[in-house]
Chains A and B, each alone.
Chain A
Amino acid sequence: MGKLRRRRIRFILIQNRAGKTRLAKWYMQFDDDEKQKLIEEVHAVVTVRDAKHTNFVEFRNFKIIYRRYAGLYFCICVDVNDNNLAYLEAIHNFVEVLNEYFHNVCELDLVFNFYKVYTVVDEMFLAGEIRETSQTKVLKQLLMLQSLE
């Protein structure tokens, strides 16, 4: 059958330029100190790049698809065989939902409402795969969940 090519998301990271983590969602087992190391490595690799670089970086034996929005880096770590362009779209989709949900989202929104950001992530991704891509649907669910609080 040929070798199994695993394709999925390993982790999702939102970091600011200074390296502070605003969201870290892991779809793979790591120790706490491994996680910390990974976060630092990603930060180091991504912040040195600028407009003349592509949005894809080889990272250990995975790759990172990232995009910078204002002062925040949205990074998705996927397998080498994954479709880069599709995940770039997924990042943008996710950011647009955040934008709608928080009404012109800024970094502070993500800080003070971090548990809500996780909810958004969990509505759109699960088990390392993209779950729901329709922005309207996701927003509807989020509002319902909010009403339960």
Chain B
Amino acid sequence: MYLAGEAWSPNQWITRQFLVLRMPAPIRLRELIRTIRTARTQAEEREMIQKECAAIRSSFREEDNTYRCRNVAKLLYMHMLGYPAHFGQLECLKLIASQKFTDKRIGYLGAMLLLDERQDVHLLMTNCIKNDLNHSTQYVQGLALCTLGCMGSSEMCRDLAGEVEKLLKTSNSYLRKKAALCAVHVIRKVPELMEMFLPATKNLLNEKNHGVLHTSVVLLTEMCERSPDMLAHFRKLVPQLVRILKNLIMSGYSPEHDVSGISDPFLQVRILRLLRILGRNDDDSSEAMNDILAQVATNTETSKNVGNAILYETVLTIMDIKSESGLRVLAINILGRFLLNNDKNIRYVALTSLLKTVQTDHNAVQRHRSTIVDCLKDLDVSIKRRAMELSFALVNGNNIRGMMKELLYFLDSCEPEFKADCASGIFLAAEKYAPSKRWHIDTIMRVLTTAGSYVRDDAVPNLIQLITNSVEMHAYTVQRLYKAILGDYSQQPLVQVAAWCIGEYGDLLVSGQCEEEEPIQVTEDEVLDILESVLISNMSTSVTRGYALTAIMKLSTRFTCTVNRIKKVVSIYGSSIDVELQQRAVEYNALFKKYDHMRSALLERMPVMEKVTTNGPTEIVQTNGETDPTPLETKPPPSGPQPTSQANDLLDLLGGNDITPVIPTAPTSKPASAGGELLDLLGDINLTGIPSITAYSKNGLKIEFTFERSNTNPSVTVITIQASNSTELDMTDFVFQAAVPKTFQLQLLSPSSSIVPAFNTGTITQVIKVLNPQKQQLRMRIKLTYNHKGSAMQDLAEVNNFPPQSWQ
């Protein structure tokens, strides 16, 4: 007797038979499942599984063909429960190689469940699959195709693509369907093989069999999506596709593919999708499909989900190809009808699509505005979100009042996850379309008071800037803000804006100058009370406290009777634990003590702030006529266009904020005296002997730049300017200002004095620190103002002659 190629002695044979007879047959699958289901705890189940796994393992070792199938099936069941089963991988391969259908079937299933392309083992399947693809029984061929199509790796696909292609041309429709989708998988894995399937596609659409038609359309879609050449090649199929679609709609009842009275909706949807791809960006194809699209759109039953699925796909197609405007309006109206549907799935789908088309077909979507706004009250969160985004996209100058009412109501009642976005959106919309300043301020107030704690931090400076712009509303604004925080000062953004305004316009508050509404009677002490409460409250963040303290300080120049109280408050915080507060308090104290003569100038009313585009995500929109669809888009940092237009940048900059402000605002800089301070600041400056330049020389005024590079930070260049005057009269009130392109940052320290003495007897020295992280060529624009010979002089100049060592 021979077994496994070796001759066995009769003794060995008998022993083996004995062993086989003695071992009980492995339990059936059903038994196992039943047993496992009786387990009451996880531990019990695990025990059973382990026992069975051990039995299966020894059974595998026996190389027993009879029960292999059963064992693998059990293993797969246990795998589905979440237990490891990799020791069965090779057994699956043996099953696949078997001649019995039941074996093969379990083997392939096992392969699909347990193997994937990361195991080397799977390559061993290739030969088996190849043989099975050529098997005489179509079901075996089917199994092979299925497995290949689900988990075939690139190598396997390469090896077997030829077989798949052959099967694509067979007349057996059962196999053609599978082969088509298998081909899709092959193409996904190995795109270069696409060419190979081209000849087989010639007659695919001539099929009568729906299944084959369906899978063929899928195959064609995949090919067109992947290759522009294929796309161009298959455009000629458009008329045929249109015909097929027409037949589907017009033909009568076809029981096999009917779903709720509609013939083969799945096929219709796939054809529509393919038409979409073919018609995109192509006028001729788009025109050829216009009629059929209109037909589908108008004739499809909408009472059930099926019909709506087709309509939805139709709408997507219409919007994507170059359809005529009448058709587009039809599509949007369908979406509008969807919005009224009871089925929330359909409403959801409609809102998603409308959001995509609101840019291009704005007017058509506007007509459905009221329905969209109603969706704000829907129960499903994802519907609400889409309705909100759409609503913001539809706000314009005409509907702002009505829309804002709805949106504010929504802000009141919506879930917290929406509040931040909604608030930002409202601010944006209000800024663009506010019908009046008073309305604008009221809206801001409403948002701050209803969703005050959800307003984004960067909204606060924007709001402050807005408020400074509406000069005539200052009194009204500060009054309303004051009233708002009287009751509740827990919402930080609200308190911050309020504190800032009270600090600025506190005088208007106590003098009762409000015109817009009934002025309230407030005393200086009451105002200070509320600000102090904010300072003390443990709900206030450090930032808020900073605002409050600065506001109190500012009031020292606007209030008349309470200056001593303010002095006291400020001195208390000089020993605050919070470093920021402490620094401010100390500096304000210094203002009171040593620099009292400068106090009123320093704490003057703020000028109207210019709108500025800052780097990084900002909510201020550049109003150059573009519509801003979703407030949730973060604007990308505008670093793109900068390098190209540096000259223009310089022009803008002197009017904008790149000049370091001499007015001390919130970030207080120590008033540095030149001399001693310089040594500290410059630290370990490397005097590398960079040549100095004459930056400006005109009318007797000469300005020289000397350079030093920092050792610690290679992007920092320190420029010391020296201004000298060769005329016979002094230049007084000399102010030097500088601007650099946006990629640089500039810090201007205080000058040594403001008088340039005549006859070059002395100079004004000033230090400029330039941060140049992108190592771009340094350019600077300077502005000089001074009084000379009794008249005010002003000059602008560009400095271009910076030596390379100063910025490289």
Q: Real complex partners, A and B?
A: yes
Residues of A within 8 A of B (CB): 1-2, 4-7, 20-24, 27, 29, 32, 36, 52-56, 58, 83-86, 88-90, 93, 111-112, 114-115, 118-119, 122, 126-134, 136-137, 141, 144-145, 148-149
Q: Are B174 and A29 in contact (CB under 8 A)?
A: no
A84 to B380, CA, bound (A): 16
Most central of B146, B257, B273 by chain A CB within 10 Å:
B146
CB closest chain-A residue, reference B187: A127
In the assembled complex, the CB of A36 is this many whole angstroms from the nearest CB of chain B, namely 7
CB closest chain-A residue, reference B188: A127
Instruction: Digitize B107-141: 1 where CB-to-A-CB distance is under 8 Å, 0 elsewhere.
Output: 00100100011100000000000000000000100
A146 to B146, CA, bound (A): 17
A2 to B109, CA, bound (A): 38
Instruction: Digitize B48-88: 1 where CB-to-A-CB distance is under 8 Å, 0 elsewhere.
Output: 00000000000000000000000001001100111010000
A32 to B81, CA, bound (A): 12
Q: Are B178 and A115 in contact (CB under 8 A)?
A: no
Q: Are B177 and A86 in contact (CB under 8 A)?
A: no
Q: Are A54 and B146 in contact (CB under 8 A)?
A: no
In the assembled complex, the CB of A22 is this many whole angstroms from the nearest CB of chain B, namely 8
Instruction: Digitize B174-207: 1 where CB-to-A-CB distance is under 8 Å, 0 elsewhere.
Output: 1001100110110010000000000000000000
A133 to B112, CA, bound (A): 22
Q: Are A52 and B379 in contact (CB under 8 A)?
A: yes
In the assembled complex, the CB of A147 is this many whole angstroms from the nearest CB of chain B, namely 10
> Which of B236-244, B342-350, B400-408, B761-769 faces chain A?
B342-350
Q: Is B336 an interface residue (CB 8 A)?
A: no
Give the contacting residue for B313; candidates A22, A53, A83; CB below 8 A.
A83
Count class of interface residues, chain B: 35 or more
Residues of A within 8 A of B177 (CB): 131-132
Residues of B within 8 A of A21 (CB): 80-82
Residues of B within 8 A of A114 (CB): 76-77, 80
Most central of B118, B231, B346, B348 by chain A CB within 10 Å:
B348
Interface of A is mostly: mixed
In the assembled complex, the CB of A106 is this many whole angstroms from the nearest CB of chain B, namely 14
- Those 5 A-B pairs whose CB atoms lie nearest each other, nearest first: A85-B309, A127-B185, A126-B181, A127-B149, A133-B266
Q: Are A137 and B211 in contact (CB under 8 A)?
A: yes
CB closest chain-B residue, reference A1: B228
CB closest chain-A residue, reference B269: A86
Q: Are A131 and B178 in contact (CB under 8 A)?
A: yes
A132 to B257, CA, bound (A): 10
Q: Are A130 and B214 in contact (CB under 8 A)?
A: yes
In the assembled complex, the CB of B728 is this many whole angstroms from the nearest CB of chain A, namely 72
Q: Is B788 an interface residue (CB 8 A)?
A: no
In the assembled complex, the CB of A87 is this many whole angstroms from the nearest CB of chain B, namely 9
Residues of A within 8 A of B266 (CB): 86, 89-90, 93, 130, 133
Residues of B within 8 A of A145 (CB): 105, 139
Residues of A within 8 A of B347 (CB): 54
Residues of A within 8 A of B256 (CB): 134, 136-137
A24 to B210, CA, bound (A): 27
Q: Are B181 and A84 in contact (CB under 8 A)?
A: no
Given known contacts A85-B308, A127-B184, A133-B257, is B76 in contact with A115 (CB within 8 Å)?
A: yes
Residues of A within 8 A of B305 (CB): 85, 88-89
Q: Are B30 and A112 in contact (CB under 8 A)?
A: yes
A89 to B343, CA, bound (A): 14
A27 to B189, CA, bound (A): 12
Most central of B73, B214, B346 by chain A CB within 10 Å:
B214
Given contacts A53-B344, A127-B185, 16 further A-B contacts (CB under 8 A): A21-B82, A29-B118, A36-B82, A54-B380, A54-B383, A84-B348, A84-B349, A111-B37, A115-B76, A122-B150, A126-B182, A131-B178, A132-B177, A133-B211, A133-B257, A133-B266
Residues of B within 8 A of A141 (CB): 174
Q: Is B547 an interface residue (CB 8 A)?
A: no
CB closest chain-B residue, reference A149: B102
In the assembled complex, the CB of B133 is this many whole angstroms from the nearest CB of chain A, namely 15
**Interface members, chain B 214-273 (any A CB < 8 Å):** 214-215, 218, 225-226, 228, 231, 255-257, 259, 264-267, 269, 273
Q: Are B181 and A127 in contact (CB under 8 A)?
A: yes
Q: Are B345 and A84 in contact (CB under 8 A)?
A: yes
Q: Are A115 and B309 in contact (CB under 8 A)?
A: no
Residues of A within 8 A of B432 (CB): none
Residues of A within 8 A of B139 (CB): 144-145, 148
A93 to B259, CA, bound (A): 9
Give the contacting residue for B345; candidates A85, A130, A136; CB below 8 A.
A85
In the assembled complex, the CB of A99 is this many whole angstroms from the nearest CB of chain B, namely 15
Residues of B within 8 A of A144 (CB): 139
Residues of B within 8 A of A122 (CB): 146, 150
